[in-house]
Amino acid sequence: MGILVVGTVAFDSVKTPEGEANDAIGGSATYFSAAASFYAPVDVIAVVGDDFPMASLDFLRERQVDVSGLEVKEGRTFRWAGEYAANMNDRRTIDTQLNVFSGFKPVLAERHRAHDHVFLANLDPDVQRDVLTQASHTDQPGRSGVVACDTMDFWIEGQKASLLSTLSRVDVLIINDSEALQLVDDHNLVRAAERILELGPRAVVVKRGAHGATLCTRDAWFGIPSYPVSTVVDPTGAGDSFAGGFMGYLARSGETGVGALKRAMVHGSVMASFNVEDFSVKRLESLTEAEISDRLDRFMEMITP
């Protein structure tokens, strides 16, 4: 099974204790696709300006990623700049330029609407919901596949009602710990995750950075540590890479039960661990199947009693 991702393809300028990169290829859809492509075909829906070097995505095309849904508009591509603290968990946004991404209204082709596995990256919740309306079969009971979404504090603060409406239509919410607390105005992460389930998703994945991730469903809790990486170069895109591994595994396995969600967590964590080892998508670009398999084996040994 393939996956549809709707998100950003962007330029990132990042400074970390390990160095810096300027106007590097980034964006949620880019990181997600780079990770998910090791598991299943991916269709990308995004927008870039006429300043974007399309050849930079050749490695994705070679890996069963279809970027024909990438709209090119006159103007400048979305840009983000940020700086990470020494602990690599705290990040300061320096600049955000929406550019052609402002007012982005994705239009799905017929083949895009047919996907059962859909990942709605960090976007305006109105846009996320519009995508689901176009792919109307995702609302049908008894369907196969998984619809997952991400969000951030900006949308929680400014468009909470719209976000809640979107959450009522997704299967899985992937969110970081501080945003999970913010979403339901709570200070206890366990209680917050349980309250989020009441909003509609059947599962919540709470990302906790270097401390791993937690899965909460109505019947189960499951937590994993992050894979130990000796040198973290750039955490940008780690969450989207996690989502790529998570959704990629589900699409490849064809399973959607709690057991599959737990296994998908492991794959997501492994893909995120590779992502942080270099700037931009460089590590995911050079990554091999053998490296993934080896790290999965090591991770399973680490978390299995």
Q: Enumerate domains of the chain plus CATH numbers.
A: 3-303 (3.40.1190.20)
The Cβ of residue 69 has, within 10 Å, a number of other Cβ atoms equal to: 20
Q: How confident is the model at residue 209 (pLDDT cuts 50, 70, 90)?
A: confident
The pairing of strands 91-97 and 79-84 is: antiparallel
Distance CA 155, CA 123 (A): 8
The burial of 139, by beta-carbon neighbours within 10 Å (0-12 exposed, 13-18 middle, 19 or more buried), is given as: exposed
Q: How confident is the model at residue 141 (pLDDT cuts 50, 70, 90)?
A: low
Q: Please compute the mean of the pLDDT values over residues 168-196 and round it to a whole number.
A: 95
Q: Quick one: DSSP state of residue 157? A: H
**pLDDT for position 139:** 66
Q: Quick one: DSSP state of residue 283? A: H
Amino acid, res. 195: R
Distance CA 217, CA 198 (A): 10
**Which tokens go with 212?**
């791993």
Proportion of the chain above pLDDT 90, given as a percent: 87
**pLDDT for position 154:** 86
pLDDT tens-digit map of 112-127: 998 999 999 999 999 9
Q: Please compute the mean of the pLDDT values over residues 77-101 and round it to a whole number.
A: 91
pLDDT at 190 > cutoff 80: yes
Distance CA 182, CA 17 (A): 28
DSSP 74-89: SSPPPEEEEEE-TTSS
How far is the first Cα of the chain from the last one, in angstroms, to the nearest whole number? Answer: 33
Q: Does residue 103 or residue 136 have the better pLDDT?
A: 103
Whole-prediction pTM: 0.95
pLDDT at 16 > cutoff 70: yes
Residue matched to tokens 């160095």: 19
Distance of CA 291 to the CA centre of its chain: 21
